[in-house]
Amino acid sequence: MKLQLTSSTAALMLSMAAYANTPIPESTETETVGPELVETVTQRPVFGQNLFEGFKQAEFKGFNPEYTLAIGDRVTLQMWGAYEVAVELTVDAQGNVFIPQVGPVKLQGVANKDLNQVIEKKVRSVYQKNVNVYSSLNAAEPVKLFVTGFVQSPGLYGGFSSDSILAFLAKSGGIRPESGSYLNVELKRNGKTRAIFNLYEFLLTGTIEQVQLGDGDTLVVNTRQGVAAFDGLVENPVQIEFANGQTALKDALDMVGVLPEATHVRIARNQMAKRNVEYLPIAKTADVQLQSGDEVTVVSDKMPGTISVSVEGEHNGQAVYILPYGSTIKDLMARLSPNDRSNIEAMQLFRESVAERQKAMLDVQLKQLEQAALSARSKSIGEANLRKADAESILQFVERARQAKPRGQVLLGQNKTRMEVLLKDQDRIVIPNKTVLVQVHGEVMFPNAMVFDNGKTIADYVSAAGGYSQKADQSRVLILHSDGTISRIEYNDGWFSSGLAKYDVRPGDEILVMPQVDEKTMQYTSDLMQVIYQVAMSTAVVLSL
pLDDT given for residue 368 in this prediction: 81
The three-state secondary structure class of 74 is: strand
The CATH number of the domain holding residue 121 is: 3.30.1950.10
| 326: Cβ contacts below 8 Å, ≥ 6 apart | 20, 422
3-state secondary structure of 213: coil
Q: Which of 88-97, 356-365, 381-390 is least confident?
A: 381-390
> Where among 269, 299, 329 does a domain terminate?
299
With 80 as the cut, is the pLDDT of residue 26 above it?
no
Q: Is 32 exposed, middle or buried (CB count within 10 Å of its CB: 0-12, 13-18, 19+)?
A: exposed
Secondary structure of 226-267 as H, E, C letters: EEEEEEECECCCCEEEECCCEEEHHHHHHHHCECCCCCEEEE
Average pLDDT over residues 89-110: 92
pLDDT in tens, 250-282: 999 999 999 999 999 999 998 877 888 999 999
Task: Name which of 143-152, 206-215, 220-229, 519-528 the model is least confident about.
Answer: 519-528
pLDDT band at 521 (very low <50, low <70, confident <90, very high): very low
- Quickly state the pLDDT bin for 382 (edges 50, 70, 90): low
Q: What is the secondary structure of 88-153 as a DSSP string?
A: EEE--TTSEEEETTTEEEE-TT-BGGGHHHHHHHHHHTT--SSEEEEEEEEEPPEEEEEEEESBSS
The band of 379, judged by pLDDT with boundaries at 50, 70 and 90, is low
Q: Please give the tally of structural domains in the chain.
A: 3
Domain-terminating residue out of 156, 191, 223: 223
Higher pLDDT, 474 or 99: 99
Distances (CA, A) of 428 to 19, 340, 415: 17, 21, 19
CATH number, domain with residue 211: 3.10.560.10
End residue of a domain, out of 175, 191, 223? 223
Percent of the chain at pLDDT exceeding 90: 47
For residue 56, the SS3 value is coil
Indicate whether 41 belongs to any domain.
Answer: yes
Residues making up the chain, counted from first to last: 545
Following DSSP, what letter does each residue of 485-532 receive, concatenated?
-EEEEE-TT---HHHHTTS---TT-EEEEEEP--TTT-S-HHHHHHHH
Could you tell me the CATH number of the domain that includes residue 248?
3.10.20
Of 95-104, 181-190, 270-279, the poorest mean pLDDT is in: 270-279
Where is average pLDDT lowest: 290-299, 476-485, 536-545?
536-545
Structural domain contains residue 64: no
Same domain, 104 and 132: yes
The Cα–Cα gap between 318 and 337 comes to: 8
Residue 72 has pLDDT above 50, yes or no: yes
3-state secondary structure of 38: coil
Asked whether residue 231 falls in the same domain as residue 294, the answer is yes
Say how far residue 390 (Cα) sits from the centre of its chain: 34
The reply to whether 163 and 112 lie within a common domain is no
- Residue 471 CB neighbour total at 10 angstroms: 15
Q: What is the pLDDT at residue 174?
A: 93
Domain that holds residue 213: 142-223
CA gap 84, 133 in Å, rounded = 9
pLDDT above 90 (res 185): yes
444 in a structural domain: no
Paired residues of 165 in beta bridges: none
Question: What average pLDDT score do residues 195-218 get?
Answer: 90
Q: Do 196 and 129 share a structural domain?
A: no
Whether 318 maps to a domain, the answer reads no
Does any domain span residue 114? yes
Residue 193: enclosing H or E segment and its boundaries? Answer: strand 192-197
- Asked if residue 108 is part of any domain, the answer here is yes
Mean pLDDT of the chain: 83
Same domain membership, residue 218 and residue 162:
yes
Check whether residue 192 and residue 256 sit in a common domain. Answer: no
Segment 172-195 mean pLDDT: 94
Burial of 323 (0-12, 13-18, 19+ CB in 10 A): middle
Share above pLDDT 70 across residues of the chain, in percent, rounded to a whole number: 83
In this structure, the answer to whether residues 104 and 154 fall within a common structural domain is no
Q: Tell me whether residue 171 is in a domain.
A: yes
194 in a structural domain: yes
